[in-house]
């Protein structure tokens, strides 16, 4: 290894930190010269012609309908890799949406122009931006789930009934039914009913007067997908102490069945700091030509 940090075998030591200490005795003084050289991955070494290893274990970490989280594992050999390139395309389109992510992150959240009930193909490659090197990509395909219902409320009620209504403001073209359930919060008794996709209301009957109920609506789709419930709490008539809907939102974006547990490495805005060295570096630099094989 030369004193300038350049490896004797090009492309074999792209990430190295070394200290060279040279002592020179000079009478009557003792002079110590310290030289410290730092080189990040793929920055100082010559990576010309280096073959980058692909990433491992690419999975869909969480599907939010209008956004999704990807996760993966690093290549075994990180020599000369200084970025990951994430690209996705929508079924029926040819345009690729691509972003660069620094190697400190092993997840990515796509939340721009993502639609529910839509098929996507995602590709992730290890890259070196200085030498324009790309590994073979790893890809997965999936369909996003339907979105949860909106504007759920009690339209009218009596001592023994709650007439609830809701809306579907998203293009949930895969919706097949709505699962309506209600829970007596005093006894814990649960009942449910299935509504057709075009029926955006349900009259819940046979309830007890002066009793708190939680009512939930879950959008169902083919392929076994569902949105996750949206819920509210209301009280049947007969008592003037409580006559409104609470702000309880249920579990609208996390239905307990996904792999996403809220602890993803991706925390929203932390990956992008605008300096071009961390986070995302743009959306259309590689449209139609991401460098993948």
* Segment 208-227, tens digit of pLDDT: 999 999 999 999 998 889 99
Task: Report the alpha-carbon distance of residue 85 to residue 21 in Å, rounded.
Answer: 39
SS3 223: helix
179 touches 232 (CB < 8 A): no
Q: What's the pLDDT at 243?
A: 43
**Two tokens, residue 169:** 């403001």
* CA end-to-end distance (rounded Å), the chain: 34
Q: What's the pLDDT at 270?
A: 37
59 touches 108 (CB < 8 A): no
Pick the closest to residue 81 from 17, 136, 25 (CA basis): 136
Q: What's the pLDDT at 55?
A: 96
Q: What's the pLDDT at 49?
A: 85
Which residues neighbour 187 within 8 Å (Cβ) at sequence distance 6 or greater? none
Q: What's the pLDDT at 169?
A: 76
Q: CATH number of the domain at 56-143, please?
A: 2.60.40.10
- pLDDT tens digits, one per residue of 95-139: 999 999 999 999 999 998 899 999 999 999 999 999 999 999 999
Backbone angles phi, psi at 169, to 5 degrees: -85, -5
Q: CATH number of the domain at 150-235, please?
A: 2.60.40.10
The low-confidence residues of the chain, meaning pLDDT below 50, are: 1-43, 240-293
């Amino acid at each position: 290894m030369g004193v300038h940090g350049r490896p004797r075998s090009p492309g074999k030591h792209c990430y190295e930190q070394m200290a060279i200490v040279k002592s020179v005795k000079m009478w009557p003084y003792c002079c110590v010269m310290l030289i410290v050289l730092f080189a990040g991955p793929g920055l100082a070494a010559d990576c010309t012609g280096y073959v980058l290893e692909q990433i491992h274990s690419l999975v869909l970490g969480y599907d939010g309908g209008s956004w999704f989280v990807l996760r993966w594992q690093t290549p075994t050999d990180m020599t000369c890799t200084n970025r990951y390139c994430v690209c996705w395309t929508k079924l029926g389109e040819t345009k690729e949406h691509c972003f660069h992510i620094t190697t400190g992150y092993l997840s990515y959240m796509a939340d721009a122009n993502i639609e529910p009930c839509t098929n996507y193909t995602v590709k992730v490659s290890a890259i070196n931006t200085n030498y324009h090197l790309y590994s073979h990509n790893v890809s997965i395909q999936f369909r996003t789930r339907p979105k949860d219902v909106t504007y759920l409320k009690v339209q009218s009620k009596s001592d023994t009934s709650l007439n609830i209504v809701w809306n579907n403001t998203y293009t949930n073209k895969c919706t097949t039914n709505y699962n309506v359930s209600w829970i007596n919060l005093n006894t814990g008794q649960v009942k449910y009913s299935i509504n057709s996709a075009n029926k955006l209301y349900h009259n819940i009957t046979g309830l007890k007067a002066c009793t708190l109920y939680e009512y939930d609506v879950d959008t169902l789709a083919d392929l076994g997908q569902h949105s996750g419930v949206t819920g509210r709490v209301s009280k049947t008539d007969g008592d003037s102490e409580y006559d409104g809907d609470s702000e309880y939102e249920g579990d609208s974006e996390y239905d307990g069945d996904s792999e996403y547990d809220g602890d993803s490495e991706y925390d929203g805005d932390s990956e992008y700091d605008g300096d071009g060295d961390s986070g995302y570096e743009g959306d259309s630099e590689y449209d139609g030509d991401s460098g993948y094989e």
